[in-house]
């Protein structure tokens, strides 16, 4: 792969624009209410189901009102209250969930992303859904499993058990500003493009000068320099799989379905590999992009600033998931002004994804009722109530249509779902919070020092200590 960088661009102070928040919605139902609630058909009862929304209160109230009729179908005497909290990422969200639990407010239902699943399983906070799924398999097979990518299901399994019913995901793709590439005389990335072609595109954009930079990214586990690491056929943690899971794969999917070949009982994260050759090479590459003036110093955490730069035409390319479709549209980008392609191939075409769905807390005394609510929330017709405006990617194949993306773009929307083939979930062991904290700290050190190897050696030490303790 081409490694040579051209002359350093004259760096100018970039106007750091605030942007539309890209945090996807997350929900958790708290056990403060729902007294005596029965499953559908199990008799009437009264109570209040309280759900906590990861976002602003206005959106939470809108969701509450929209879901109310569906909740009434589960139990006519059940009411719904949705309250909001804010958080910058899943690390922040999970910390607040654990605080709720410590204060005695353990929920009945929790919306969990890949990042938090094994943390909650390891702490025995959520319960396996195997018996519920088996009981309702005859309807779930046709109405759910045959419409959901098995990679999302496997990502929510641990030691052969299914702990979560996913409804959404985001894979790390490459978004590009169409106007910027056109001005630079760079062709739109084609399917199967390589890191050489990514680098060549960056070089062309760099010649535009002014405040326009080729590429930007955010310091975090999902979709940062880690996307380059995955494409370089590496990972921060040794990849493996739990055995088991045949109880699901043999019943939920059709025999001979190639998409379930090799599926097992969930991802089993092994020893840390943060300072592998692949990791050092990937991080050093993005550091060298910055040194060459091809990229600004990245922010830590959310992507609001990055989105502002991208939508104003100051960034040519950046990493994003399907949630960027709605985010960029809401930020005012016109139809056709941005597009997406799968992440470029390096030593492999492996990329990362994160998925999210709903789990039941082990401490809940209303597990049957919680299961009925979860089945309602994963229905296809509920998706746009939960996630209006393409603020995340639907996990259902039947909902991935041109009509869905006609109002927001991009035209190459098929990339989002297709990229799941051959991809792996974001590294998320039971010590995810410590992993995320170490990555943020050590990446920041690497950017400051310019030395990826030293920073990742320190990260490896961090992770070995915490892995041993976990």
Pair 68, 211 in one domain = no
Choose one of 390, 415, 450: the last residue of a domain: 390
Choose one of 390, 416, 447: the last residue of a domain: 390
110: in domain: yes
230: in domain: yes
pLDDT band of 40, cuts 50, 70, 90: very low
How would you class 436 by CB atoms within 10 Å of its CB: exposed for 0-12, middle for 13-18, buried for 19 or more?
buried
Q: φ and ψ at 170, to 5 degrees?
A: -145, 125
257: in domain: no
Pair 153, 237 in one domain = no
221-276 tens-digit pLDDT: 998 999 999 999 999 999 999 999 999 999 999 888 999 999 999 999 999 999 99
pLDDT band of 153, cuts 50, 70, 90: very high
Judge whether residue 9 has pLDDT over 70.
no
361: in domain: yes
Choose one of 390, 410, 441: the last residue of a domain: 390
Tell me what pLDDT residue 272 has: 98
Tell me what pLDDT residue 91 has: 65
459, 237 Cβ separation under 8 angstroms = no
Pair 67, 202 in one domain = no
Pair 179, 299 in one domain = yes
Pair 210, 152 in one domain = no
Pair 151, 300 in one domain = no
Residue for token digits 């539309």? 20
Pair 347, 366 in one domain = no
Provide the whole-model pTM. 0.88
Domain count of the fold of the chain: 2
Pair 121, 160 in one domain = yes
DSSP string for 100-169: HHHTT--EEEEEEEHHHHHHHHHTT-B---HHHHHHTHHHHHHHTGGGB-HHHHHHTEETTEE--EEEEE
Torsion-angle region of 425 (φ positive above 0: left; ψ -120 to 50: alpha; else: beta): beta
Helix (H/G/I), strand (E/B), else coil: 366: coil
Euclidean distance between CA atoms 328 and 336, whole angstroms: 11
Judge whether residue 184 has pLDDT over 80.
yes
For residue 138, give its domain range.
27-167+356-390
19: in domain: no
Mean pLDDT of 157-184: 97
Pair 88, 51 in one domain = yes
Pair 282, 196 in one domain = yes
CATH code for position 369: 3.40.190.10
11: in domain: no
For 8-12, 281-285, 409-413, which range has the lowest pLDDT when averaged over its residues?
8-12
182: in domain: yes
378: in domain: yes
Pair 122, 178 in one domain = no
Pair 66, 151 in one domain = yes
pLDDT band of 90, cuts 50, 70, 90: low
Judge whether residue 30 has pLDDT over 90.
no
């Amino acid at each position: 792969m081409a490694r040579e960088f051209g002359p350093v661009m004259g760096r100018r102070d970039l106007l750091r624009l605030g942007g539309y928040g890209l945090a996807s919605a997350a929900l958790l139902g708290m056990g403060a209410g729902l007294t005596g609630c029965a499953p559908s058909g199990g008799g009437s009862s009264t109570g209040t189901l309280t759900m906590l929304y990861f976002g602003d209160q206005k959106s939470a109230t809108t969701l509450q009102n929209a879901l109310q009729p569906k909740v009434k179908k589960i139990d006519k005497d059940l009411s719904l209250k949705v309250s909001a909290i804010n958080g910058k990422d899943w690390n922040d969200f999970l910390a607040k969930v654990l605080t709720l639990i410590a204060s005695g407010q353990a929920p009945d239902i929790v919306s969990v992303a890949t990042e938090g699943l094994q943390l909650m399983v390891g702490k025995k906070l959520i319960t396996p859904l195997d018996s519920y799924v088996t009981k309702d398999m005859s309807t779930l097979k046709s109405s759910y499993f045959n419409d959901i990518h098995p990679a999302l299901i496997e990502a929510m399994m641990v030691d052969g058990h299914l702990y979560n019913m996913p409804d959404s995901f985001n894979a790390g793709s490459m978004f590009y500003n169409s106007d910027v590439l056109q001005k630079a005389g760079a062709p739109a990335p084609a399917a199967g493009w390589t890191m050489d072609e990514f680098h060549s595109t960056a070089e062309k954009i760099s010649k535009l000068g002014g405040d326009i930079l080729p590429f930007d990214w955010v310091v975090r586990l999902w979709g940062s320099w880690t996307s380059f690491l995955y494409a370089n056929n590496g990972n921060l943690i040794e990849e493996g799989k739990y055995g088991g899971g045949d109880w699901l794969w043999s019943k939920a999917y059709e025999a001979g379905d190639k998409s379930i070949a090799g599926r097992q009982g969930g991802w089993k994260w092994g020893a840390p590999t943060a300072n592998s050759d692949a990791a050092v090479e990937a991080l050093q590459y993005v550091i060298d992009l910055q040194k060459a003036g091809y990229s600004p110093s990245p922010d830590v955490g959310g992507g609001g600033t990055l989105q502002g730069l991208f939508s104003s035409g100051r960034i040519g390319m950046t990493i994003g998931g399907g949630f960027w479709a709605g985010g960029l549209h809401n930020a005012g980008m016109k139809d056709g002004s941005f597009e997406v392609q799968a992440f470029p191939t390096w030593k492999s075409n492996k990329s990362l994804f994160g998925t999210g769905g709903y789990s039941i807390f082990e401490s809940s005394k209303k597990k049957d009722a919680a299961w009925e609510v979860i089945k309602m929330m994963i229905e296809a017709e509920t998706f746009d109530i939960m996630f209006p405006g393409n603020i995340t990617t639907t996990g259902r194949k039947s909902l991935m249509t041109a009509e869905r993306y006609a109002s927001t773009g991009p035209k190459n929307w098929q990339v989002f779902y297709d990229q799941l083939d051959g991809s792996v979930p974001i590294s998320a062991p039971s010590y995810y919070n410590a992993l995320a904290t170490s990555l943020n700290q050590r990446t920041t050190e690497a950017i400051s020092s310019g030395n990826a190897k030293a920073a990742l050696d320190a990260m490896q030490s961090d992770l070995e200590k915490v892995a041993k303790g976990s």
